[in-house]
């Protein structure tokens, strides 16, 4: 090969190795990956958290990613691009493991390695390792590794002097630290925690010690292999040991006694392949009503309890099985005084060639960007209590195939469903097949989603969903075109109510705007307005009584126009108390519902209380009384208000 050509290749290699790309983690790259790519890689998050200028996708509990107990993906609100990843490892690594994976401490008396860390103090007065060239920070708490932050890589003196803020931790479960032998005795060969000493300029230097190296590189069998980022060739490539004559300084080992265990000691511990856990949910509600017979005020208590138990089996990275069983019991309800069980989730997830990702079985799915009304959520019935703290709907039986297109910031979803349904004649249940195709694409600071759904014995349905972030404002809109409903549609005729004939496409549309404000850096305030137009609905109040007799009434989808106004204020503290005030109404029927919520959480406990009251015209949707001119129904007790307390424990 000619010498000039070789020199050109060498120059290109140096240039490509010197580019300040972000450190990727599980194919997610800060500064490059979009929100849709993150969701395509890891699925729907456990929850979302808003902050000024950013949206945080949190994966924890049932949705915790392999090798972690939780992970936070920080997205810029405007561009919807990933700016930071906080990873909380499932098993605490030692300092020796961190150094072998990412590089040793930087030398203060000689040449500086490309992949080395500086020891700094965080705002919590805890040490952390800052790998400037990697764009990585390793944070400690009480001498143990707490989390790893993946950021865009920095260069130069300014990047080395920059401080990295530690992640905000809430409801953090205890990680595994010291494995035990089968007989229950703690293995004395496994190092325990030790305090961290931060080396400063004024400290007496520690005796130079060469960084220990392993004769073998870290393998994927290590419990900490999930934390390892992809290595980019070039001048920033990790070196497993110091060059001749170089030394490292820094804090003493974090979890290391005098006799340092060999790397094989760490390799014997493996992450949990099977995880067992659950949630306990307890409600205590009291409904005050005015009795129809004598106008006396009476209280109707309910005390339902729900237990979810899950099994999470992850034998390898792209293979996972998840099962959730549910038990419901209410000693005050005749329908649930005998405990009832059902299956909430049961699915198998696997990847094909790292290009196609399949989830088969009963699983949860939510489509649509609105808070209350989601007309494009074609695969399951609407939530009858969208303001409640717990969604009691179980999963949908389906096969879901996801094909991400990272270069286009897009995702394609293909879904097939099959459900057993009872026949009107009372014969054997029949299988009803369906499916959907859904395409998602990120367009700068916005996202556009198109959906088409098909179901046996129903006309096709089509939907568009668009969301946009502008400064502190988040805007969204979704539109569905439907020709029928899974419930019968009625209209008033000359001789009473008759089934409404099909008349082509009908429109269901919802939209909203939310503003996120920070008050004195202590309170986070979110104001949201939302509306819903339902062409399938009606403003005939007499129809409300008729639908109650036929069983075709669906809450919050009876009328033509609905609206919501909500104000939420969250205080920054360990308990994160949140107060929400909500007004929701059927505008076309002059019927409204007001609700006040108060909630807080600490560790694995969450407590929420509420009080709500209907108001508006008597006989309207939220203050229903039957119209005796339509049907001979017994008069119902008039609801005055409802108060409740909810407790959620992680088992």
Average pLDDT for residues 28-34, to the nearest whole number? 83
Confidence band for 120, pLDDT divided at 50, 70 and 90 = confident
Give me the phi and psi of 522, to 5 degrees please: -120, -35
pLDDT value of position 112: 53
Which of 150, 170, 203 terminates a domain? The answer is 150
Q: Which of 150, 174, 204 is the last residue of a domain?
A: 150
pTM to 2 decimal places: 0.64
Which residues span the domain enclosing 515? 274-650
- Residues near 116 by Cβ (< 8 Å), separated by ≥ 6? 103, 104, 105, 106, 107, 131, 133, 248
642 in Cβ contact with 289 (< 8 Å): no
pLDDT at 168: 76
Instruction: Give the separation between CA 409 and CA 81, rounded to whole angstroms.
Output: 10
Band of the pLDDT at 221, cuts 50, 70, 90? very low
What does the pLDDT read at residue 471? 81
Comparing CA positions, the residue from 593, 574, 648 lying closest to residue 389 is: 648
SS3 breakdown of the chain: % helix, strand, coil, rounded to 5? 10, 45, 45
| Interior angle at CA 294, CA 289 and CA 295, nearest 5 | 40
Give me the numbers of helices (H) and strands (E) for the chain, helices first please. 6, 29
> Is 249 contained in some domain?
no
Task: Please state the three-class secondary structure of 72-93 as a single string.
Answer: EEEEECCCCEEEEEEEEECECC
CA distance 321 to 350: 9
Pairing of strands 561-571, 523-534: antiparallel
pLDDT score of 256: 32
Mean pLDDT computed over every residue of the chain:
78
What would the mean pLDDT of 199-218 be, rounded to a whole number? 35
- The pLDDT > 90 percentage for the chain reads 33
Does any domain span residue 15?
no
Predicted local distance difference test score (pLDDT) of residue 198: 34
The pLDDT value recorded for residue 108 is 61
Give the range among 194-203, 371-380, 592-601 with minimum mean pLDDT: 194-203
pLDDT in tens, 373-413: 999 999 988 998 898 888 888 999 999 999 988 778 889 99
Assigned domain for 251 exists: no
Q: What gap in Å lies between CA 620 and CA 326, rounded to an integer? A: 35
**Does 284 map to a domain?**
yes
436 or 243, greater pLDDT: 436
Residues 468-524 pLDDT 10s: 888 888 899 999 999 988 888 998 888 888 998 877 899 999 999 999 887 776 788
Q: Distance between CA atoms of 627 and 633, rounded to whole angstroms? A: 8
pLDDT, position 340: 93
- pLDDT of 21 above 60: no
Higher pLDDT, 469 or 328: 328
Distance, CA of 182 to CA of 248 (rounded, Å): 38
For residue 573, being part of any structural domain is answered with yes
pLDDT confidence tier of residue 591, bands split at 50, 70 and 90: very high
Q: Can you tell me the mean pLDDT for 438-466?
A: 92
pLDDT tens sequence across 68-79: 889 999 998 777
Alpha helix positions (H), 409-562? 541-550
Q: What is the pLDDT of residue 220?
A: 39
- Cβ distance 592 to 556 under 8 Å? no
pLDDT confidence tier of residue 604, bands split at 50, 70 and 90? confident
Q: Specify if 323 maps to a domain.
A: yes
**Is residue 140's pLDDT more than 60?**
yes
Show Cβ contacts of residue 387 under 8 Å, excluding neighbours closer than 6 positions: 372, 582, 584, 595, 597, 612
C-alpha–C-alpha distance, residues 565 and 465, integer Å: 21
Asked if the structure places residue 401 within a domain, the reply is: yes
Percentage of the chain beyond pLDDT 70 is 77
Q: Is 32 helix (H, G, I), strand (E, B) or coil?
A: coil
Q: What are phi and psi of 22, to 5 degrees?
A: -75, 155
Q: What is the rounded CA–CA span in Å between residue 462 and residue 468?
A: 21
Q: Which two tokens stand for residue 585?
A: 């109404």
CATH number at residue 599: 2.40.160.10
**pLDDT class for 237, splitting at 50, 70, 90?**
very low
Q: Cα angle at 510 between 506 and 515, to 5 degrees? A: 170
β-strands 274-290, 638-650 pairing: antiparallel
d(CA 164, CA 137): 7
Long-range own/partner contacts, residues 392-397 (CB < 8 A, 24 or more apart): 392/306, 394/326, 394/342, 394/343, 394/344, 394/345, 394/362, 395/344, 395/345, 395/346, 395/347, 395/362, 395/363, 395/364, 395/365, 396/362, 396/363, 396/364, 396/365, 397/361, 397/362
Tell me the per-residue pLDDT of 286-311, one tens digit each, with 9 for 90 and over.
Answer: 999 888 778 888 899 999 999 999 99
How big is the chain, counted in residues? Answer: 651
- Structure token pair of residue 277: 């856990």
Query: Once rounded to an integer, what is the mean pLDDT over residues 630-636?
Result: 81
Give the pLDDT score at 448: 93
Tokens of 25: 């983690």
Residue 157: which residues within 8 A CB-CB, separation 6 or more?
none
pLDDT of residue 267: 37
Q: Please name which of 489, 490, 616, 626 lies closest in space to residue 545, comparing C-alpha atoms.
A: 626
Whole-angstrom distance, CA of residue 461 vs CA of residue 456: 12
Is residue 263 predicted with pLDDT exceeding 60?
A: no
* 422 in any annotated domain: yes
Query: Confidence class of residue 114 from pLDDT cuts 50, 70 and 90?
Result: low
pLDDT band, residue 155 (cuts 50/70/90): low
Domain count, the chain: 2
In the sheet that holds 68-76, the strands lie side by side as 47-51, 54-60, 68-76, 82-89, 144-150, 136-141, 127-131, 118-121
Task: Identify the band that residue 174 occupies on the pLDDT scale cut at 50, 70 and 90.
Answer: very low
User: Does 285 share its domain with 143?
Assistant: no
Comparing 620 with 242, the larger pLDDT belongs to 620
How far apart are alpha carbons 441 and 448 in whole angstroms? Answer: 6
Residue 170: its pLDDT value, please? Answer: 56
642 has a pLDDT exceeding 60: yes
pLDDT digits (tens, 9 = 90+) for 535-580: 999 988 889 999 988 989 999 999 999 999 999 998 877 677 899 9
Continuous H helices in 326-453:
none
Whether residue 203 is predicted with pLDDT greater than 50 in this model: the reply is: no
Last residue of a domain, one of 150, 173, 198: 150
| Beta-carbon contacts of residue 509 (< 8 Å; ≥ 6 apart) | 375, 477, 478, 479, 480, 532, 533
Q: Does residue 18 register a pLDDT over 60? A: no
């Amino acid at each position: 090969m000619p010498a000039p050509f070789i020199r050109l290749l060498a120059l290109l290699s140096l240039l490509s190795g010197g580019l300040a790309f972000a450190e990727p983690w599980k194919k997610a790259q800060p500064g490059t990956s979009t929100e849709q790519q993150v969701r395509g890689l890891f699925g729907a998050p456990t929850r979302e958290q808003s902050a000024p200028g950013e949206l945080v996708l949190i994966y924890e509990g049932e949705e915790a990613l392999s090798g972690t107990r939780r992970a936070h993906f920080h997205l810029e609100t405007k561009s919807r691009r990933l700016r930071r990843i906080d990873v909380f490892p499932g098993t605490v690594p030692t300092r020796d493991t961190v150094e072998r994976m990412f590089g040793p401490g930087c030398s203060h008396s000689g040449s500086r390695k490309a992949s080395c860390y500086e020891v700094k103090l965080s705002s919590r007065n805890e040490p952390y390792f800052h790998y400037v060239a990697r764009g990585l920070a390793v944070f400690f708490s009480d001498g143990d590794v707490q989390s790893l932050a993946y950021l865009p890589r920095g260069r130069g003196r300014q990047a080395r002097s920059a401080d990295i803020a530690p992640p905000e931790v809430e409801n953090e479960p205890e990680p595994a630290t010291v494995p035990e032998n089968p007989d229950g005795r703690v293995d004395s060969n496994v190092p325990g925690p030790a305090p961290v000493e931060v080396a400063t300029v004024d400290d007496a230097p520690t005796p130079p010690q060469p960084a220990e190296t392993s004769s073998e590189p870290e393998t994927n069998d290590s419990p900490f292999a999930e934390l390892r980022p992809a290595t980019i060739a070039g001048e920033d490539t990790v070196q497993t040991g110091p060059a001749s004559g170089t030394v490292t300084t820094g804090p003493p080992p974090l979890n290391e006694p005098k006799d340092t265990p060999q790397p094989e000691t760490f390799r014997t511990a493996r992450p949990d392949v099977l995880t067992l856990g659950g949630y306990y949910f307890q409600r205590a509600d009291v409904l005050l009503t005015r009795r129809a017979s004598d106008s006396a005020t009476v209280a109707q208590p309910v005390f339902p309890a729900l237990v979810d138990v899950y099994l999470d089996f992850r034998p390898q990275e792209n293979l996972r099985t998840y099962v959730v069983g549910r038990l419901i019991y209410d000693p005050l309800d005749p329908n649930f005084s005998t405990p009832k069980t059902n299956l909430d989730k049961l699915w198998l997830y696997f990847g094909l060639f790292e290009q196609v990702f399949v989830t088969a079985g009963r699983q949860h799915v939510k489509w649509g960007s609105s808070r209350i009304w989601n007309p494009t959520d074609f695969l399951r019935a609407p939530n009858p209590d969208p303001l409640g703290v717990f969604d009691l709907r179980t999963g949908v039986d389906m096969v879901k195939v996801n094909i991400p297109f990272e270069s286009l910031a897009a995702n394609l979803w293909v879904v097939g469903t099959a459900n057993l349904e009872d026949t009107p004649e009372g014969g054997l249940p029949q299988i009803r097949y369906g499916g959907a195709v859904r395409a998602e694409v990120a367009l700068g600071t916005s996202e556009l989603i198109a959906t088409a759904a098909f179901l046996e014995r129903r006309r096709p349905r089509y939907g568009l969903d668009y969301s946009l972030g502008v400064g502190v404002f988040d805007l969204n809109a979704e539109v569905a075109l439907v020709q029928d409903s899974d419930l019968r549609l009625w209209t008033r005729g000359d001789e009473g109510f008759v089934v409404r004939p099909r008349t082509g496409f009908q429109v269901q549309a919802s939209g909203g705007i939310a503003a996120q404000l920070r008050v004195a850096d202590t309170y986070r305030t979110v104001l949201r307005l939302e509306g819903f137009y339902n062409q399938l609905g009606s403003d005939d109040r007499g129809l409300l009584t008729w639908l109650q007799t036929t069983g075709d009434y669906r809450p919050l989808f009876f009328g033509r126009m609905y609206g919501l106004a909500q104000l939420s204020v969250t205080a920054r503290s360990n308990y994160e108390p949140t107060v929400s005030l909500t007004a929701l109404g059927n505008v076309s029927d002059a019927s409204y519902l007001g609700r006040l919520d108060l909630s807080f959480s600490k560790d694995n406990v969450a407590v929420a209380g509420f009080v709500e009251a209907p108001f508006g015209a008597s006989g309207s949707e939220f203050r229903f009384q039957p119209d005796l001119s339509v049907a001979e129904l017994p008069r119902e007790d008039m609801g005055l208000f409802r108060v409740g307390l909810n407790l959620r424990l992680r088992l």
